[in-house]
Amino acid sequence: MGLVCFPVKSMLGERSERLVVDERGVAGDRLWALRYEDGKLGSGKNSRRFRRTPGMLEYDAVYEGEGPVVTTPDGERLRPGDPRIAELFGAGVELAREGGTSHQDAGAVSLVGTASLRALGELLGDSEPVDVRRLRKNIVVGTEEPWIEEDWVGREIAFDGGLRLRVTERIERCVMTTQAQRGLPADSRILKTLTATRGMCVGVYADVVTPGTLALGAEVTVK
């Protein structure tokens, strides 16, 4: 199992041995975002809500206290309110906390199985599983059957410690999967392969039924 929180939307996140999951999702996940003066959020794609902002995956973000600290490719550490943010990303851009509108794309929590990572790697013609960093999932669970998590749509999954999730839908992937990030080169094969073989989907979204704390290695039961 792997556990990851992404403090700032579309930036790299932090691996953890324990995640607190509340009604909103993983506590602090994508709670912050780069926000432009017109209200759009920095992202790897353009849409009604998002503005494509190249290079965001070269920055990582971790929580220190109540807010995030963003580390630039040069090792500079930035906090909300730092004027360097606008210098790096454009006039008027700020690191903003979520308000009335969620920063999340669709579901509260994202999940993928290890067998699906292996299967996607095989579809790409690689000898290793696809690097899960490409997919930006909160939870990676150990599975034996590829794509089995898609069969959980409409069902609940329970973890040791009391956390319960309801799987809601497959996740349709976007250009973010192909972009270079710190430690990984650009790879256009991923989205092309998912489009040709998997309806652009890998992994699933889930809503929170019962909040709880999820520890690395917790057992998973599908209801």
Give the pLDDT confidence score for residue 125 in this predicted structure: 96
pTM score, two decimals?
0.94
Helix and strand numbers, DSSP H then E, in the chain: 3, 18
User: Given this structure, which CATH class describes domain 109-222?
Assistant: mainly beta
Residue 8 — very low, low, confident or very high, per pLDDT cuts 50/70/90? very high
Give the pLDDT confidence score for residue 105 in this predicted structure: 77
Give CA–CA dist 24/94, Å, rounded.
23
Residue 106 clears pLDDT 90, i.e. is over it: no
For the residues 83-100, what does the mean pLDDT come to?
A: 95
Give the pLDDT confidence score for residue 66 in this predicted structure: 86
Residue bearing tokens 């349709």: 172
Top pLDDT among 147 and 44 is at 147
Q: Are 165 and 209 in contact (CB under 8 A)?
A: yes
Which residues make up the CATH 2.40.33.20 domain(s) of the chain?
109-222
